[in-house]
Chain A
Amino acid sequence: MAALLVYSERVDTACELVAGGKELAAALGLGVSAVALGPGDGVAASELAAAGADTVYVSEDAAFEGWPADAVAAGLAQIVEQADASVVLVGSTRRGKETAPRLAQKLGAGCVSDVSSLVVEDGELVAGRYAFGGATVAREKLATAAKVFAVMPKAFSAEGASAGEGAVVNLQVDVQTSVRVVDRRAKEGDHVNLDAAPLIVGVGRGFNAREDLALGDDLAAALGAVIGCTKSLADFEWLGEDRIIGLSGAKTAPDLYLSVGVSGQIQHTVGVSAAKLIAAVNKDKEAPIFAMSDYGIVGDLYEVLPALTERLKNV
């Protein structure tokens, strides 16, 4: 049976894609296969098989170390042929986003990146992605025989994954890369993974000085939330770039997104529009963030935050 093929260098994302891919594949009359690439990825392969992939192709070839785009695209193209895949879903992480178009080019395929929704309508896949800096959602279909979609993490839930016992196939692929990893080190300081956080406090330019962000930290601590920010605060180097939410950062889907001093420019809010609940603290009643919020407090954050933090301590 022809297949829908799933790949991400991140196992959690790949499992989401298997779960979401199964529904799409059923509507298209395809099977679901998954790919795990990289030294030591036999472990990921068995997770993917357990998540419900019919077949998992695995290669531990050393060329996949660090997942260079040229080698991964070449490896995937060979597996696409072996698996007779007509649809490829790649996790739209930074690495996935540089690999998917290269794979598409190799396959002569159309590609949609940063896909936030993917559905089957009248027997065809329709992908949604933000356009015009996030102001609109473009819904796109691909006209080519092979189709590549780079799907954002969390676009599908892994909860629908069915316990499976798929076959794991070890593959020999012919790949090389001309990109050499000179150094790879963990970032200094704390690192956050915003796209997995259930509660997020987002801070923006309403803060007058870097040290004032302590007010946001106190609020986040009282809520049990992690701190994210608009791009401008990372540009000021007040916070690290892994805290950026929006078009150039994380696309989050928390239970609660509480913005503080964030005006609500679309380049930021596309990163939170999937939140179950959006709340905002802003002194400007006309700020666009209130139009997309469930709950809003109109007021000076320097007064509101200490009061909120205090109130939360008594919950």
Chain B
Amino acid sequence: MEDGDRVDIVVCVKTNPDLQMVRIKNREAVTEAVPYKIGDLEKNALEAAVVLRDAAGGKVTALCLAEGNRKAAEDVKVALAMGADEAVVIDDPELKAPDQAAVAAALAAAVKKIGACDLLLFGEGSTDNYTGQVGARVAELLGLPQIGYARKIEVTDGVVRCERSMDAMIETLEAPLPAVVTVVSEINEPRIPGLMQIMKAKNKPLQVWALADLGLEAPTPVREIVSNLAEEQDRKNILFEGAVAEQADAFVNALIKEGVLGR
């Protein structure tokens, strides 16, 4: 393998509260004592990065913003076990509940500090809030081209080529490196690390940086969350039980009465 082909990749990973374990109480999401884990799409991005590195050579860095997860430095080791070469965690009390502009500013500064980065990978959105903003914001901050929703990704001769599905079209796009790419779940099946990989991950380099290490000040919030409550359901909740033919009859009659049939 020629040295000129090597691709240094930074994968931005977010740890989210495990949504399967988030309960709603009095319309509010209860996240206390809920464990965090790396998001599903970020695992797709990590898998893509490891495959690209294994083919071309280079280094994979997992970059994680703790966002209030006190165990982020522990949780990010899953990325190391999956094959990332090193990890960086940004952890700062001023970034406990950051908005997307603050996240992007911190990640962009960290990417600069990491230095070598030909390809910057993100999941299309985070498992919890799925805003899909951060990849595009970081691309703008770093002045890089961006390709969203990649379901195939190749790197050759300093160019990244991605396939993506957009409405009725399948597109193949190319951008010169360095570039930002966000991936969707169809791109691959993330590996599940074995015990050996988990053990080896413990010895891989992991750094924790605060805002000051990135030369950043505490961010000025760009948004305010007014409320965050479960919706109140206002449905009829009529159930038909019993013999199938009677159920079908009652159900179809209800639809007719509602005026949704026979138009």
Residues of A that sit less than 8 Å from B by CB: 66, 68-70, 73, 93-95, 97-102, 104-106, 109-114, 126, 129-133, 135-144, 177-187, 191, 193, 199, 223, 235, 241-242, 247-248, 255-256, 273, 276-279, 285, 290-299, 303-304, 307-308, 310-312, 315
B174 on the A face (CB < 8 A): yes
Q: Assess whether B132 is in contact with A98, with CB atoms less than 8 Å apart.
A: yes
Chain B 206-239 interface mask (CB, 8 Å, partner A; 1/0): 0000000000000011111111111101011111
A303 to B176, CA, bound (A): 56
CA distance A97 to B243 in the complex (A): 47
Write the B158-188 contact mask toward A (1 if CB under 8 angstroms, else 0).
Answer: 0001000111111111111000001011100
Report B-chain residues with C-beta under 8 Å of the C-beta of A294: 235-238, 258
Contacts of A276 in B (CB 8 A): 260
Total contacts A-B at CB 8 Å: 258
Is A295 touching B128 in the complex (CB atoms < 8 A)?
Answer: no
Query: Which of B1-39 touch A at CB < 8 Å?
Result: 17, 19, 22, 24, 27-29
Closest to B104 in A: A105
Give bound CA distance, A178 to B140, whole Å.
13
Residues of B within 8 A of A310 (CB): 248
From B140, B146, B221, B255, contact of A256 by CB (8 A): B255
- Of the A-B pairs whose beta carbons lie under 8 Å apart in the complex, a sample of 16, sorted by A's number, is A101-B140, A113-B133, A136-B230, A138-B225, A179-B147, A179-B173, A180-B175, A181-B172, A182-B173, A187-B169, A191-B167, A273-B231, A279-B255, A294-B258, A296-B240, A307-B244
CB distance from A239 to the nearest CB of B (A): 13
Q: Which residues of B contact A179 (CB under 8 A)?
A: 145-147, 173-175
Q: B69 at interface (Cβ–Cβ under 8 A)?
A: no
Judging by beta carbons under 8 Å apart, are B225 and A186 in contact?
A: no
Write out the residue numbers on chain B whose beta carbons fall within 8 Å of the beta carbon of A109: 222
Quick one: CB contact mask for B250-263 with A, threshold 8 Å, 1 for yes? 01101110101110
* Complexed CA–CA distance, A248 and B149 (Å): 11
Would you give the shortest CB distance from A81 to chain B, in whole angstroms?
A: 16
Q: What is the CA–CA distance of A96 and B135 in the complex, to the nearest angstrom?
A: 14
Q: Closest Cβ of chain A: how far from B83's Cβ, in Å?
A: 23
- Alpha-carbon gap, A183 to B152, bound state (A): 14
Given A136-B228, A141-B223; A307-B247 close (CB under 8 Å): yes
Extra contacts besides A131-B129, A293-B235, A304-B244 (14): CB < 8 Å: A68-B145, A97-B132, A133-B19, A139-B226, A140-B225, A143-B223, A179-B173, A181-B172, A183-B172, A241-B186, A291-B235, A297-B248, A299-B241, A315-B262
CA distance A308 to B244 in the complex (A): 9
B203 within 8 A of A: no
The reply to whether B255 and A311 contact each other, CB–CB distance below 8 Å, is no
| Chain B residues within 8 Å of A, Cβ to Cβ | 17, 19, 22, 24, 27-29, 99-101, 104, 124-125, 127-137, 139-141, 145-149, 161, 165-176, 182, 184-186, 220-231, 233, 235-241, 244-245, 247-249, 251-252, 254-256, 258, 260-262
Task: Name the one of A94, A101, A186, A247 contacting B100, with C-beta atoms under 8 angstroms.
Answer: A101
Complex Cα distance A104/B199, Å? 42
Taking a contact as CB atoms under 8 Å apart, the answer to whether B19 and A135 are in contact is yes
Nearest B residue to A183 via CB reads: B172
Q: Contact check, A101 vs B137: say whether CB atoms are below 8 A apart.
A: yes
**Contact between A114 and B130 (Cβ–Cβ < 8 Å)?**
yes
Complex interface: chain B residues within 8 A of A178 (CB): 145, 175-176
**Residue ID in chain A nearest B27 by CB atoms:** A136
Q: Which of B27, B173, B224, B241 has a CB less than 8 Å from the CB of A181?
A: B173
Q: Looking across the interface, which residue of chain B has its beta carbon closest to that of A273?
A: B231
Q: List residues of chain B with CB within 8 A of the CB of A291.
A: 233, 235, 237
Given A105-B140, A277-B260: A95 and B166 within 8 A (CB)? yes
Chain B residue contacts of A126, Cβ below 8 A: 226
Q: Is the CB of A135 within 8 A of B230?
A: yes
Whether B29 lies near A308 (C-beta < 8 A) is no
A70-B237 in contact given A133-B127, A138-B228, A139-B228 (Cβ < 8 Å)? no
